[in-house]
Amino acid sequence: MNNHKVRRALFSVSEKRGCEAFARALSAMGVEILATGGTRKLIADAGIPVREVSEVTGFPEMMDGRVKTLHPKIHGGLLALRDEPTHMAAMEEHGIGPIDLACVNLYPFEETIAKGGVDRSEAIEQIDIGGPTMVRSAAKNHAFVAIVTNPNDYGRVERDMKSNDGAVSDLLRRELAQKAFALTALYDTSVAGWLFGQERSEENPFPSSYSLAGRRYEKELRYGENSHQKAAFYRTAQLGTSVASAKFLGGKDLSYNNFVDLDAALGLALEFEEPFCCVIKHTNPCGAACAATLAAALESAWSGDPLSAFGSVLAFNRPVDKACAEFLTGGNRFVEAIIAPSFAEDAEEQLRTGAKWGKNVRMLACGSVGPAHRPELEYEVKHLRDGFLVQERDRAVETRDDFDCVTETRPTTEQETELLFANLITKHVKSNAIVLVKGTRVLGVGAGQMSRVDSVKLAVEKAGDEVLGSVLGSDAFFPFPDGVETAMDAGVAAILQPGGSIRDKQVVAVCNERKVPMVFTGHRHFRH
């Protein structure tokens, strides 16, 4: 172990939480403290001895604070190898004192751009230069220097020093260095992403390099997809209406699958303006409905497939009220998790106390939900071995203007409304996706089948007798007439699909024989 005692520390922080107490503790241990601008004032006002960095460098802060720590007397003190004679000689020759601990965090760039509508020049000024440079210098030289970037670590460092006669242990310095480089990676990723977003165009939709960075979710995940797998969730800097930014109101700890299902549920709820509820099982909607009230939407969504709904995840686009809570806690119903804009106090109480599973159900409040609360641009990332894919999220929303009626019989106005609803649902169903709808209620879903005919059969089976007079939405074209024939044999009254098969004419012909209207949208909605 390197028992190098901390004799001088540098403070330069934007987030000042805990800074005063940490500086006081170090000073009490005999550590000389240097600090910049506002940090120095905070420490000095607390009656703690502190020197201004400009006293050490011989240069004042200048250019509106852009230049203050970029100086050999700072970085030489951070980077010098204490066991390298030439480094020590250079320090002595140039009057550079060693800095053994750096307490640094960065300008609030992420918080600034998160405000929305921020002026470009304001955002640019929140790009920290001196801070990351000090962080990286100290972290590189972690064999001799402790770099503390998170106020949550102040107490640990203080206790470690007290246990090691004023030195920071090797193990902790290594851990702090890793955290420091992770911080600068996240910071640079945020800056690069924002700058690209400012210049993005149809001709240049993706950056030349794409970085993923995030902060680990503070609550530990119960496990991964299976109980023998460990997992963690990381929040990115871009937090809109999402599971990542939602407030966890309690219940069992979230697992990997909970996050995946909640994200799928919220994604579907974000499509709708009207009171809406969806019931998600293994990322697929087994029930979904719009209605005049949220409770009516919930009841309709649940009735789409009550068997599959047991142990499901729910999403709402309105605050959950007492009527919804009473429905869920009545009968033999059980849900794993619920995400909604908010929960009425009496609804939350009912859910917690009105069912055996109530104390365990995970409730997340995510703020406003609806089409207006989706960001203008969303990327999806899918990891592969040794790489990952990035694409724009499927935001296409077809309207009646996109309908190309390819049959002799045209859909009624009511059927067009139903087909639009079915089409929105298919976007969120694993391919091959078939969705049967009546009104604004899902009756049956065929998801993830290798054959589109099998997806039709599964959706028909789920719909039962209600299939008569229903409409069908398909995420992709029917390669053969057999899928359409199966649907019409069961009683489907109108069909929507993107079209594009070399056998489209054959498929249309069998619809004309039965006088069943079919519309093409021209847009496929695969979801793998």
Per-residue pLDDT tens over the stretch 309-318: 999 999 999 9
According to the model, what pLDDT value does residue 210 have?
84
Which among 5, 282, 322, 373 is annotated as catalytic?
Answer: 282
- 334-348 mean pLDDT: 97
Q: What pLDDT, on the 0 to 100 scale, is given for residue 166?
A: 92
Of the candidate ranges 67-81, 350-364, 390-404, the one whose mean pLDDT is the lowest: 67-81
pLDDT(121) > 90: no
Task: Give the global pTM.
Answer: 0.86
Tokens matching residue 289 = 């409905």
Confidence of residue 289 (pLDDT cuts 50, 70, 90): very high
Calculate ∠ Cα 255-259-262, nearest 5°. 130
Tokens 């955002």 belong to which residue? 123
Give the pLDDT mean for 10-32.
Answer: 93
Predicted local distance difference test score (pLDDT) of residue 24: 93
**Token pair of 299, please?**
């009841």
What is the pLDDT, as a whole number, of residue 68? 66
Task: Tell me what the mean pLDDT of segment 325-351 comes to.
Answer: 96
pLDDT higher than 80, residue 238:
no
pLDDT, one tens digit per residue, over 243-264 is 998 999 999 999 999 999 999 9
Tokens representing 309 are 């709904």
Query: What are the residue boundaries of the structural domains of the chain, listed by start?
Result: 8-194, 246-373, 400-520
pLDDT at 66: 67
Fold (topology level) of 246-373: Cytidine Deaminase; domain 2 (3.40.140)
Cα–Cα distance for residue pair 245/184, rounded to 1 Å = 22
CATH code of the domain made up of 400-520:
3.40.140.20
pLDDT above 90 coverage of the chain, percent: 71
Residue 58 predicted with pLDDT over 80:
no
Phi, psi at 244, each rounded to 5°: -60, -35
Q: Contact 100/26 with Cβ under 8 angstroms?
A: no
pLDDT tier for residue 323 given thresholds of 50, 70 and 90? very high
**Mean per-residue pLDDT of the chain:** 91
Please confirm, yes or no, whether 140 is among the known catalytic residues. yes
Read off the pLDDT of each residue in 274-292 and give the average, rounded to a whole number: 97
Using the 8-state DSSP alphabet, how is residue 443 labeled? Answer: E
Q: Which CATH architecture has domain 8-194?
A: 3-Layer(aba) Sandwich (3.40)
Task: Give residue 159's pLDDT.
Answer: 95
Task: Give 219's pLDDT tier (boundaries 50, 70, 90).
Answer: confident
In angstroms and rounded to an integer, the radius of gyration of the C-alpha atoms of the chain is 30
Q: Is the confidence at residue 115, as pLDDT, over 80?
A: no
Q: Is the pLDDT of residue 62 over 70?
A: no
Tell me, yes or no, if the two domains 8-194 and 400-520 fold the same way: no
CA-nearest of 345, 286, 292 to 315 is 286
**pLDDT tens profile 191-200:** 888 888 788 8
The answer to whether the bond into 332 is cis (omega within 30° of 0) is: no
Among 16, 87, 140, 373, the active-site one is: 140
Q: Find the mean pLDDT for residues 21-41.
A: 92
